[in-house]
Chain A
Amino acid sequence: MQELIEYIARSLVDHPEDVRVTETSGAHAVIYELRVRPADKGWVIGRQGRVANAMRTLLRVASTRKRRRAILEIV
């Protein structure tokens, strides 16, 4: 799951070496925090959050199989 976010983010930004994803497990959900260089944020958010929302869709598919809700935050 973390790998999915990392792969997408690294493929889009100008500085893939500065992409970090951390995972925090809660009772019912897992929170993924994606960090990129401030200048790269636009790439992972997109116009009107389109990229971020598309990543959330793919994450949701990947996580429903594990019966855990996944939340993606870009910080």
Chain B
Amino acid sequence: MDAARRSVEGRGKTVDDAILDALTKLGASREAVDIEVLTEGSRGVWGIGAEDARVRAVLKASPRPAAPPRQARVAVAEPEIPPGASEAEIARRVVATLVSKMGLHADVVIAEPPESTASSEETQGEPPIVVDIRGDDLGILIGRRGETLRDLQFIARLIVSRKVGHWPNLVVDVQAYRQHREQALTQLARRMADKVRLTRQPVSLEPMPPNERRIVHLALRDDPYVMTQSTGEGEARKVVIYPRT
């Protein structure tokens, strides 16, 4: 690497932009350079008198291999995530940030994936990353029929996927709600299957979200006396347990 490229000046509307500009010029990742802020810049009033922020980026003695610009950008935008963090740790931090910005106080921990039939048999190999939110009065995070938790998990997955570059196998839980729900649903499914076997009449369960219907289907998959099917559309979709003929 030639000496001229070891140090560059970056410019931008904000210090972060200026750092990004410098990293792009160097083709280096954030952790491979030392940054010196030359001027913080100012926004001016309605763009009048605005001054660019300027930084000097100096490549460290033994730089890591250059990261693609996308990673550099993410590192600049979210400095709270240390480089080299595991996917689980990234997920934990994303969920913790979301929860705190929602104005809730809670601990966010990486939990053991459940040893349940429903999740381990289907997703062969790779167990999911489970991030559990723990604290008082967190029912608000679960919502009616788990809708809020579902949306929180969706947003968290999406953000993590943008950071790690693939769709993460991430489960967000609140006070192990999903785990308890899974046990309760499995028990319910077995009880109703017994009823169907004895009465030889189909039984339909309450409407449930897709992940919960899946738990019921899986719980009764190997039952020789009953079979299950989902009927109804959207919010009203529910599992019906039929006697096997």
Instruction: Give the residues in chain B near A42, CB-CB below 8 Å.
Output: none
Q: Does the CB pair B162–A4 fall under 8 Å?
A: no
Q: Does the CB pair A57–B147 fall under 8 Å?
A: yes
Contact pick for A65, options B103, B152, B154, CB 8 Å: B103
Q: Does the CB pair A7–B151 fall under 8 Å?
A: no
Q: Size range of the interface on B?
A: 20 to 34
Q: Does the CB pair A64–B140 fall under 8 Å?
A: yes
Contact pick for A17, options B13, B101, B103, B159, CB 8 Å: B13
Total interface residues in chain A, CB < 8 Å: 22
Nearest CB in chain A: distance from B138 CB, A: 10
8 Å CB interface, A16-71 against B: 16-17, 50-51, 53-55, 57-58, 61-62, 64-66
Q: Does the CB pair B103–A12 fall under 8 Å?
A: no
Contact pick for A7, options B12, B97, B141, CB 8 Å: B97
Q: Does the CB pair B102–A16 fall under 8 Å?
A: no
A8 at the interface (CB under 8 A from B): yes
Contact pick for B143, options A1, A8, A55, A61, CB 8 Å: A61
Nearest CB in chain A: distance from B91 CB, A: 12
Q: Does the CB pair B17–A4 fall under 8 Å?
A: no
B201 at the interface (CB under 8 A from A): no
CA distance A9 to B102 in the complex (A): 14
Contact pick for B98, options A58, A64, A65, CB 8 Å: A58
Inter-chain residue pair count (beta carbon < 8 A) = 64
Contact pick for B151, options A3, A16, A53, CB 8 Å: A53
Q: Does the CB pair B97–A58 fall under 8 Å?
A: no
Q: Does the CB pair A4–B98 fall under 8 Å?
A: yes
Instruction: Give the residues in chain B near A62, CB-CB below 8 Å.
Output: 101-104
Nearest CB in chain A: distance from B123 CB, A: 22
Q: Does the CB pair A61–B141 fall under 8 Å?
A: yes
B77 at the interface (CB under 8 A from A): yes
Q: Does the CB pair A12–B148 fall under 8 Å?
A: no
Q: 1/0 per residue B1-45: CB within 8 Å of A?
A: 000000000001110110010000000000000000000000000
Residue of B nearest to A15 (CB): B73
Q: 1/0 per residue B154-169: CB within 8 Å of A?
A: 1100110011000000
Instruction: Give the residues in chain B near A1, CB-CB below 8 Å.
Output: 103
CA distance A53 to B141 in the complex (A): 15
CA distance A64 to B144 in the complex (A): 14
CA distance A66 to B140 in the complex (A): 13
- Sorted from nearest, which 8 A-B pairs have the closest CB atoms? A54-B151, A57-B151, A4-B101, A62-B102, A11-B159, A16-B77, A54-B154, A54-B155
11 additional contacts, CB 8 Å, given A17-B17, A51-B154, A57-B151? A8-B98, A11-B78, A17-B14, A17-B20, A50-B154, A54-B152, A54-B154, A58-B148, A61-B140, A62-B101, A66-B103
List residues of chain B with CB under 8 Å of any chain A CB.
12-14, 16-17, 20, 73, 77-78, 94, 97-98, 101-104, 140-141, 143, 147-148, 151-152, 154-155, 158-159, 162-163
